[in-house]
Amino acid sequence: MMAARKLPPLPFDTEGLRGELRLREPMSRHTSWRVGGPAEFFYQPADKADVIALMRRLPDDLPVYWLGLGSNLLVRDGGIPGLVVKTVKSLGELVLLENQRLYAEAGVTCAKVARKSVAAGLAGAAFLAGVPGSFGGALAMNAGAFGGETWPLVESVECVQRGGAVLHFNRGEIGYGYRRVELPADCFLLSGVLALGAGSGDGGQAEIRALLEKRGASQPVQSANAGSVFKNPKGGYAARILEDLGLKGHQVGGACFSTKHANFIINEGTATARDIEGLIELARRKVREETGVELEHEVRIVGEAS
């Protein structure tokens, strides 16, 4: 007879939860870099009520991390201790409201938000078409592109805290800046309402097409990457600095700086998170030593080294 596999004890009660709980889920399946060790616990909620019920029962000492499409995330090879909650395919409501407003749950893709807004003749959110993440990720990062930015469009957001309290904030109550959003601690985004303007006919569709073409021409969009690795320093461009220092194409293990866009790191197929982080640190050091500029990551780096 086969011995029964021993499962670790769960840190919270799952009775009545309707989502899917997985143990030691490889995060390489959930990040655009296709690297990252396992999440100790991984939860795909059934819907918004289900994720609130989950948050209500989490013990204070269980680390919890929310995930959208993992398109701005480097998970280290040792994985993430604690619980990862994935919003995409779970929090998927997207509704047009009166007065040129749009309600979207965190797991809706940015591309869908952009398409829905232009189909309704609304202006302001077309830039989201080229951001390959979730709406929750765009809110958490204040994603922006081609002159547009997420938070200036926000009317309000709905959050849940550990313990299950649901809070609402208007835009003026949350500090934000370039790829920076100051949410209260242990506070996760469930949904947001965007206040958009009136568009002009099918101008929005044309705008989306033009933005996507521009991206395809300047970024390695077909390869495994996480967009811009570094934020632009004040008054400059990270890509320009990296290119000037000859880092385009520079390689560590299976990771290299793109030859198309110097601020993108590509996983050529065999990269580990360690290779990618090694390349990030090598570039930061070189930039610091040769220009005095301290580059800051735009990508979030989480988890433990293996």
Ligand X SMILES: Cc1cc2nc3c(=O)[nH]c(=O)nc-3n(C[C@H](O)[C@H](O)[C@H](O)COP(=O)(O)OP(=O)(O)OC[C@H]3O[C@@H](n4cnc5c(N)ncnc54)[C@H](O)[C@@H]3O)c2cc1C
Footprint of ligand X on 66-125 (CB under 6 A): 66-73, 87, 106
> Would you say 141 or 242 has its CB closer to ligand X?
141
Q: In whole angstroms, what is the distance from residue 65 CA to residue 183 CA?
A: 14
Handedness of CA 60, 17, 48, 29 (dihedral sign): positive
Question: Least Å distance between CB 54 and ligand X?
Answer: 13
DSSP of 139-185: HHHT-EETTEESGGGEEEEEEEETTS-EEEEEGGGSEEETTEEEPPT
Name which position in 38, 45, 79, 133 contacts ligand X (CB under 6 A).
133
Between 49 and 290, CB nearer to ligand X: 49
Number of residues in contact with ligand X under rule CB under 6 A = 33
Strand duo 175-177 + 80-86: pairing: unpaired
Cβ proximity to ligand X: between 77 and 127 the closer is 127
Q: Are strands 148-149 and 94-97 parallel, antiparallel or unpaired?
A: unpaired
First to last CA, the chain: 34
Q: Nearer to ligand X by C-beta: 101 or 215?
A: 215
Question: Is residue 32 involved in binding ligand X (CB under 6 A)?
Answer: yes
Which string of x and - marks every residue 141-180 that binds ligand X (by CB under 6 A)? Answer: x-xxx-----------------------------------
53 binds ligand X (CB under 6 A): no
Burial of residue 82 (CB within 10 Å: 0-12, 13-18, 19+) is middle
Binding site for ligand X (CB under 6 A): 32, 65-73, 87, 106, 130-134, 136-138, 140-141, 143-145, 188-189, 219, 221, 225-227, 300
